[in-house]
Structure 1
Amino acid sequence: MNWAIATVLGAGHLRPASGTWASAIAVGLAVAAYQAGLAWLVPVGFVLATVAGFWAVPGYLRTSVDQDPSEVVIDEFAGQWLALSFTVIPLWRHGVEDMLFAAWPAWVAPFLLFRLFDVWKPWVIGRADRMGGATGVMLDDLWAGLFAGVGSMALAGVYHGVVEPWLR
């Protein structure tokens, strides 16, 4: 069970860049849920993935030589869904029906920003990563997800508040 959760059913073994693959799968599932009218699954999925990750990763790490193995991607999955929650919830509340094509920046921006923050690891993200152990594995991606979500909202605010009115 620890393996299935920690590697997101084996997605962590996809190469190269297992974290990017996991993030892309999380985005695809989130967009599919949204398109199916189940947008609420994204923030609920974030909570469930986070809880499951904090439960499964310690057990997985006990069997691993590496303390942050690349195949452990539940942290990317949870962080990506946190980032997407920042755009999914407002779209849903505003009645936007098509996230895939009509509101594509709502999934592209969180994906790109999350990957940027996860790789770059500025400030508290890097500190969390250096903690090591299951807490460090999970926490750096949750911070990256928070930064990506806030960054996505900031970009949306600039576009809708400054650029879009100027284009009219």
Structure 2
Amino acid sequence: MKRLARIIATVLGVGYIRPAPGTWGSLVALPWGWLLHVLGGFPLLVLAIVIGFAKGWWATSVMTRGGTDHDPSEIVIDEVIGQWIALLPLSFAAWNMGLNMLVMWPGWIAAFAFFRLFDIWKPGPVGWADRRGDALGVMLDDVIAGVFAAFGVLALAGLYHGLF
């Protein structure tokens, strides 16, 4: 069980890449998010987020049980889930309008930049979740950072397309 938890939590070992394993986790989430979208559109990406969150929570719980560090840097499944959440506006728009998701490349850059900003800065509820000190908090801080990033992507899209 511990080996499976390590594989899930470190996203096949990506969490061991230095420096900045969280950034590497976010980067690896991008092509995987694109692949999920290509294979099943917005619904599959949402399903992957839900399943990935559950597996990530379990794996993080196993990896941190009995340790003093509640959020070891090698655990990056939370970054993958948060980054996928940041991509949801792009996936929805592409799925809804029958577009190639890659044509929205500025949105991809914004999703990545906003997610990393909120994940590192930890404003308000992101910091609250991080301070929980448990496996759920490890996952939740990135979920909330992903939601903030998704709203940032929507705001920039609205500005670009003249909606604001």
Query: So what's the TM-score if we normalise by structure 2?
Result: 0.90
After superposition, give the CA deviation of every residue in 1:93-118 in whole Å (9 maximum; x if it has no partner).
11112x33x21022111111000000
User: Would the aligned equivalents of 1:30 and 1:39 in 2 still touch at CA under 8 Å?
Assistant: no
> Number of residues paired by the alignment?
160
Among 30, 39, 42, the residue aligned to 2:41: 39
In 2, distance between residues paired with 1:95 and 1:161? 21
Give yes or no for the alignment of 1:89 onto 2:92. yes
Q: Which runs of 5+ in 1 are unaligned?
A: 164-168
Is the counterpart of residue 79 in structure 1 residue 82 in structure 2?
yes
Identity across aligned pairs (percent)?
A: 47
How is 1:89-128 mapped onto 2 (pairs within 5 angstroms)? 89-97=92-100, 99-100=101-102, 102-128=103-129
AA aligned to 1:117 is F
Q: Which residue in the other structure is 2:61 paired with?
A: 58
Aligned equivalents of 2:5, 2:67: Cα separation in 1 = 12
Distance 1:58 1:21 in 2: 21
Gaps of 5+ in 2: none
Decide which of 23, 27, 31 is 1:24's aligned counterpart: 27
TM-score normalised by structure 1 residue count: 0.88
What CA RMSD, in Å, does the superposition of the two structures yield over aligned residues? 1.6
Could you tell me how far 1:63 is from its partner in structure 2? 5.3
How far is 1:45 from its partner?
1.5
Code of the residue aligned with 2:24 in structure 1: it is W
1:31·1:107 contact (CA, 8 Å) conserved in 2? no
